[in-house]
Structure formats: structure tokens, C-alpha cells
Amino acid sequence: MTMNKIPVVLAIAGLDPSAGAGVLADIKTISGFGCYGLGVATSLTMQNTCEVSGAIHQTGETISRQLEPLFEDFQIAAIKTGMLPTAEAVEAVVSALRANPVPHIVVDPVARSTSGSELIDGKALDASIRMLFPLASLVTPNWEEAGRITGITVRDEASAEQVARLILSHGPRAVLLKGGDIDAESATDLLVDPDGTVSYRAARIHSRNTHGTGCALSSAVACMLARGATLRDAIAIAKNYVRQAILTAPGIGHGNGPLNHFPPERGV
């Protein structure tokens, strides 16, 4: 594959210095899928595998000034958004996306870190629902994030589908409701789109090395869409990738350890 044929994928997310989550983890995932990764930092967080101790959010202007030269220089095949901590950040991203249409936009509505720290405020989430979701090819909330978006607690697969359809009504082309954070023996993700519902089931892996699983999954889906896969195939490959990334995790750090973003089996 020559350099000019490599799909370019842009990650817009917070910067986690431990590189387990956020834009640094996104870039590693993107590279693992044979794409060229671009990154825009929306917030500089202070964190490791144990906790998030602080964050300095970027202004809308600094986010816009990061995005503008990238759109001028690159033909971007797909975008993944993660932590958008303020309404101002959401507005800057949405403005850039409207001015520079991209075929695939995967929105991971990150609200809380793996260690339990709140990462965005309510106004930011409301702005994402109102302005960003209608631009999305796919929105990938976990059960807790879906509850925060809809105000309905997800308790089982039946309520999960109801909540996913409510999120779909906000305008995205599809919703993938992730069930990996729920205490059950099966990790089931539920895709809902206008064509119906698909369940992706896998046996739960009991591991502490799960820092940044949502970031990796959404970035992997964006990469596979950029490479021409269908959404259903992209999700299946991304889910297997995350599974392998957990199973082969390096086991470093004293808290929720990072994944192996370059597992031997990646499905590409």
C-alpha cells in the first residue's frame, strides 16, 4: 500500500498522558489498523491508570486552530470524536465538520473516565446531542452514558434497545450501545439503525486492563469504515480487536491498565 492510499483518520479527543485513553490511544489504534492518524486535543488531562486529578480544557478557538490546517492539508476519510468537555468545544468541532464534510463520523460521547472521574459538563452533553449527533454515522455510548443522554436507566437488553432508539431519534445514522461495563458474564453490544437491531455477543473477560476500551472501539470502527467496510462488519472487527487488546494487555500501571493497541490478531 503506497502512502497516498493510506486512509487518513482524525481523532478529536482529550489528551491522556498515560496514553491508555484519549487521543494518544486513538492514534495507536489508528496506526494498528493501517491508517494514518491525525490528532486534535480538546483537553489536557492530568491522569494515570489510577485517577484523573485535573484537566485544562482547550478553548473553542484553540480547537478550531488545530482543526483548520488539517482540513486544508489532508483528505480525511473518517473522524472519531471523544472527550468534548464544554459546549464551546462541541460548537468548534461542529462548525469545522459542517464546513468540511467527511464520509464517516464516529461519536464516542465520553462522559466519565474508567476510574470514575467526570470528564464533561451537562451543557457539553446537551450541545453534543443537539448539534453533533445529527452529523454522526455512529454514536457509541455505554449503558451509563446512554442513561445520561436519555434520562432512562438501562437495566437489561430490552431497555437497552428502547434507549438506543431514543438516541437514534436525535439524528445519528446508527447507535451502538456498549454493554462491556455491565456486571454480567456476557459482554453484549447492541447496534440499532434504520435497518433493524443486531447484537454482538462475547464472553466477558475478567481483567483490570480495560483503560480506554471505548476509545479503542470507536477508533477501530472509524478505521474500518475508512477502509471501506460496512458498519456491521466494522463493529464486529472492532469488537474482536478490543477483545484481543485486553487479552494481550501489557499489565502495566497500578490501576486500570492500558490495552495492547497492537495485538497479533487485529482482523485487518
Closest CA to 199 of 169, 168, 156: 156
Q: Of 19-28, 35-44, 108-117, 225-234, which range is least confident?
A: 108-117
Distance CA 211, CA 181 (A): 11
Contacts of 18 (CB under 8 A, 6+ apart): 47, 48, 49, 211, 253, 258
- Give the active site residues: 178, 210, 212-215
The phi-psi region of residue 27 (left if phi > 0; otherwise alpha if psi is between -120 and 50; otherwise beta) is alpha
Position 39 confidence tier, pLDDT thresholds 50, 70, 90 = very high
pLDDT, residue 65, reads: 98
Number of residues that this document lists for the chain: 268
Distance CA 47, CA 213 (A): 16
Distance CA 267, CA 164 (A): 27
pLDDT, residue 2, reads: 36
Read off the pTM: 0.94
The domain defined by 3-247 carries CATH number 3.40.1190.20: yes
pLDDT exceeds 80 at position 144: yes
Domain boundaries, the chain: 3-247
Distance CA 108, CA 215 (A): 7
Position 115 confidence tier, pLDDT thresholds 50, 70, 90 = low
pLDDT exceeds 70 at position 267: no
Share of the chain above pLDDT 90, in %: 81
Distances (CA, A) of 87 to 43, 44, 83, 105, 132: 13, 16, 11, 19, 11
pLDDT, residue 117, reads: 59
> Do 178 and 195 meet the contact criterion of CB atoms below 8 Å apart?
no
pLDDT exceeds 90 at position 214: yes
Residue type present at position 27: I
Closest CA to 241 of 9, 3, 30, 63: 30
Distance CA 138, CA 145 (A): 15
> Do 261 and 28 meet the contact criterion of CB atoms below 8 Å apart?
yes
* Structure-block grid coordinates of residue 105: 463520523
Position 232 confidence tier, pLDDT thresholds 50, 70, 90 = very high
